[in-house]
Chains A and B, each alone.
Chain A
Amino acid sequence: MVKKGQVHVSETILVLFVVVIILMMGVTIYFKFSVEKSKTLAEELSEEQATIMLAKAVGLEELSCEGLGCMDTSKFLPFKRVLGEDFGRYKRMFGRKRIVVKELYPIEDSVKEVECDVVKYIQMEYPENCGSWVIYDYNPENEPAAKVSTIVSLYYPEFDEYRVGRLEIEHYGDIRR
């Protein structure tokens, strides 16, 4: 026959067991959430960095008009040349990103996606023969990208003309690399 004291001990053990199980579940869920959160935090920081860069890129001396809040299209091709010569410096500045400028207005739909290069630049039809500049591209691990973008004013000093474009920054996950 089971004594009353033994019943109490069994109850206490059962309650302790349940409490321990609940605590373990809580710790596991919290741990999983923390791991997940640190992963998304890296992505959020990357997105935040890209957003800050969106605001700052227009004022970047290498690409901007002087103090006018616009991007100087005549600086894009020389910048790509400088980029090739001193890639380490710009890699530290931009990190793993792809920076593209696309003209939006006024432009024919057929040339919107055509990339501008030196050959296109020296043609008579320029700037009607192309509408996109890849300013910077570094994605060594071929990761999928998230994109942030903003409208920018594009200045063509050769024609003293302003147009409207979009600055797109594709960023890749972790900002530490």
Chain B
Amino acid sequence: MRKGQSEVIGLMVIVLILIFMGVLYLGFANLAGNDTLASQRVGIETENALNAVLRVNLENYDDKTIQDLIVECGGGFDCNQLENALKEVYTAVLKPGTTFSYWVLMEDEEIYATSTCQIGIVSSYVFVRDGIFYEAKLRLCKT
């Protein structure tokens, strides 16, 4: 191989490396911005989904709220009503392809948990009823 040919090949290699680095940069530059905005929206969605559902009046459960059912669950009553109500409401309000995990603490002790998703932003809401602290937590996941 002549000296001139090897120089041309060297130049081509440098150009290819530069193009490759440019493509990588453009790819990552686009990804970074969208991710932040999307996770902000998921955060808002999770917080609102928790707060709105906690106070909704449930027609099929004597107009009780999810908060009432949480207190009943913590007071030793059957937690099935809470579980069924949560499934009914979240099936109606969440977008298709979204799953949720929900758990409740009473005075820092877990009294109820349903876990269908593992990775996602968690939102929590604390309320007091008859001097007892309750904390409801919700996590939303996209499937």
Q: Which residues of A contact B58 (CB under 8 A)?
A: 106
0 or 1 for each of B44-67: is its CB under 8 Å from A? (1 = yes): 110011011101111100000100
Known: A48-B37, A104-B93, A105-B93. A162 touches B56 (CB 8 A): yes
Judge if A153 is at the interface, Cβ distance under 8 Å.
Answer: yes
- Residues on B with beta carbons closer than 8 Å to the beta carbon of A151: 45, 48-49, 52-53, 93
- Smallest CB gap from B7: residue in A: A15
Q: Give the number of residues in B that approach A within 8 Å (Cβ atoms).
A: 28
Residues of A within 8 A of B53 (CB): 151, 164
Q: How far is the CA of A15 from the CA of B12 in the complex (A)?
A: 12
In the bound complex, what is the Cα–Cα distance between A54 and B49 (angstroms)?
13
B96 at the interface (CB under 8 A from A): no
Partner of A164, one of B33, B34, B52: B52
Closest chain-A Cβ to B81's Cβ sits at a distance in Å of 16
Shortest CB distance A161–B (Å): 5
Which of A160-174 touch B at CB < 8 Å?
A: 161-166
Main secondary structure of the interface of B (DSSP, over half): helix
Interface residue A16 (Cβ < 8 Å from any Cβ of B) = no
Q: Which of A33, A70, A105 contacts B55 (CB 8 A)?
A: A70
A47 to B59, CA, bound (A): 36
Q: Contacts A51-B44, A55-B44 given; indicate if A164 touches B37 (C-beta within 8 A).
A: no
B26 contacts the other chain (Cβ, under 8 Å)? yes
Would you list the 7 A-B pairs with minimal beta carbon distance, nearest first? A153-B52, A105-B92, A151-B48, A151-B49, A104-B93, A162-B55, A164-B52
Interface centre among A55, A151, A163, A166 (most CB of B within 10 A): A151
Q: How far is the CB of B36 from chain A (nearest CB, A)?
A: 9
B76 on the interface (CB 8 Å rule)?
no
Determine whether the beta carbon of B26 is less than 8 Å from that of A33: yes
- Do B37 and A44 touch (CB < 8 A)? yes
The distance in angstroms between the C-alpha atoms of A51 and B37, with both chains bound, is 8
A117 on interface, CB distance cutoff 8 Å: no
Q: Are A164 and B93 in contact (CB under 8 A)?
A: yes
**B41 closest partner in A (C-beta):** A51
Asked whether, in the complex, the Cβ of B48 is within 8 Å of the Cβ of A150, the reply is: yes
Contact between B57 and A162, CB atoms less than 8 A apart: yes
Q: A104: which of B26, B37, B41, B92 is its contact (CB, 8 Å)? A: B92
In the complex the two chains form, what is the Cα distance from A52 to B59 in whole Å? 33
**A160: min CB distance to chain B, Å:** 9
Q: Is B131 an interface residue (CB 8 A)?
A: no
